[in-house]
Amino acid sequence: MSVLAKPFKPKFSKFDYFIIGLTYVFFPLALIIAAFRILPTQQHHSFRGRNARLIGWVLFGTYIMTSLIISLGSETSEEFLNGNLAMALCLLVPAMLLLVAADLADKKFRKLLRIYAEAVLQRRLIYIDHIAIVANQTQAHVIRDLNFMIKERMLPSGRIENDVLMITSLHRESVEPAETQQDIGSKSVECSGCGARTVISHQEEKECEYCGTIIVA
């Protein structure tokens, strides 16, 4: 299987870090912003692991803050433990599951990227429907993923037009120039039999095409 020129490394944006930080200031707003942040990008394979990881860390921060609030409002240790257990089940467990799911999503996407790289770089597939069959993905997903790979320089520079992947450096046809000059050392020799002239190379013997006489340069 083909090796990517640049490996896929998911990372948070500055806005993602802002959302996580906001969790420790006002977690209800952070949860709302995080939801709006992931909804438009969830259909992209490249964002799925990152989105799950973002929600996981926001839920973890929410658990920390709610535990702090419960500890301040609880009159007995029993109330604190019961409230903290409820928050752990509602927030901490889903957060851990989402962080695990994020790693699995990234691993799955890395495997998919290697399939794309093999299809494009080794098998030289250019039609989106053919690549979709190889990758077992919809054409819409293939287009998004290939555009992501081109943008992140995992594939050579190119573009997709009319469901065809155009990468000039991979699909350029080499054309050899035609010979326009005679070989060095060739000359025109007159046939001793009929007088016709024939082009012949140095030290070459050639039969005259008119009378059959052997001509020697």
The alpha carbons of the chain give a radius of gyration, in whole angstroms, of 35
Q: How far apart are CA 97 and CA 127, in angstroms?
A: 38
Q: How far apart are CA 159 and CA 153, in angstroms?
A: 12
Q: How far apart are CA 136 and CA 149, in angstroms?
A: 17
pLDDT of residue 175: 35
Residue spans of the domains in the chain: they are 14-171, 187-216
Quick check: helix, strand or coil at residue 199? strand
- pLDDT by residue for the chain (217 residues), tens digit each? 555 557 788 899 999 999 999 999 999 999 999 999 999 999 999 999 999 999 999 999 999 999 999 888 888 888 889 888 999 999 999 999 999 999 999 999 999 999 999 999 888 899 999 999 999 999 999 999 999 999 988 988 889 999 999 988 776 543 334 343 344 455 667 777 766 666 666 666 777 766 777 777 6
Token pair recorded at residue 135: 């990758």
Q: Is 189 left (phi over 0), alpha (psi -120 to 50) or beta?
A: beta
Closest CA to 127 of 106, 108, 142: 142
Quick check: helix, strand or coil at residue 162? coil
Element (H, E) at 216: strand 214-216
- Do 51 and 41 form a contact (C-beta atoms < 8 A)? yes
| Phi, psi at 151, each rounded to 5° | -65, -40
